[in-house]
């Protein structure tokens, strides 16, 4: 069974159609929308501030979502894929975003809709990723505009695939 527990009187609220892997951890002030999946060894720790996750979001294996005490909550929009071992910390991720494997999104960043953060990128504190951009590198910088093909071929495809994958694991 996953670890789902209250912290300081606040319990996670998870829609009933979500898939939560057996060794995922979700604690505290966390809200997870419909058709989401939280994969193996992922941690969503809403102990120091709230974490709000929209609909059709997949949080892949080993990813960590956290916030900063009383100053920076974490907000994730709809149709978002957070790749394996990514760290999303005290920031805002808008709709239709792909966060690449092993990337780090730091406090007070805003990743606007229809964007991709490349694998291994480090998006430093207070960065605003423009809508329709691809950011890569350490520190992350804009490397290109996103095409409609990438929006439908990558962002939407991956989010849709994770709904399918999670169906394989549901009882």
Average pLDDT on 64-92 reads: 97
Is 77 a residue whose pLDDT tops 80? yes
Provide the number of structural domains found in the chain. Answer: 1
Give 153's contacts (C-beta < 8 A, 6+ positions apart): none
Phi, psi of 164 (to 5 degrees): -65, -50
Task: Give the domain range for residue 110.
Answer: 3-167
- Point out the least confidently predicted range of 51-55, 81-85, 140-144, 153-157: 153-157
pTM over 0.85: yes
Check which CATH number belongs to the domain holding 159 and give it: 2.160.10.10
Q: Which residues pair with 65 in a beta bridge?
A: 44, 88
Could you give the CA distance from residue 119 to residue 51 in angstroms, rounded to a whole number? 23
| Reported confidence tier of residue 171, pLDDT bands at 50, 70, 90 | low
The per-residue pLDDT for range 3-59, each reduced to its tens digit, is 999 999 999 999 999 999 999 999 999 999 999 999 999 999 999 999 999 999 999
Could you give the CA distance from residue 78 to residue 127 in angstroms, rounded to a whole number? 20
The per-residue pLDDT for range 94-145, each reduced to its tens digit, is 999 999 999 999 999 999 999 999 999 999 999 999 999 999 999 999 999 9
């Amino acid at each position: 069974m996953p670890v789902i527990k209250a912290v300081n009187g606040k319990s996670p609220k998870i829609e009933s159609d979500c898939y939560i892997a057996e060794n995922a951890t979700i604690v505290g002030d966390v809200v997870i929308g419909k058709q989401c999946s939280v994969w193996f060894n992922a941690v969503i720790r809403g102990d120091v501030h709230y974490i709000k996750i929209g609909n059709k979001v997949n949080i892949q294996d080993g990813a960590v979502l956290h916030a900063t005490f009383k100053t920076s909550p974490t907000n994730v929009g709809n149709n978002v894929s957070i790749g394996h071992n990514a760290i999303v910390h005290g920031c805002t991720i808008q709709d239709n975003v792909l966060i690449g494997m092993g990337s780090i999104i730091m406090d007070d960043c805003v990743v606007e809709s229809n964007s991709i953060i490349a694998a291994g990128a480090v998006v430093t504190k207070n960065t605003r990723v423009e809508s329709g951009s691809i950011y890569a590198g350490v520190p992350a910088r804009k490397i290109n505009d996103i095409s409609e093909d990438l929006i439908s071929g990558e962002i939407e495809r991956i989010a849709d695939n994770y709904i399918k994958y999670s169906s394989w694991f549901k009882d």
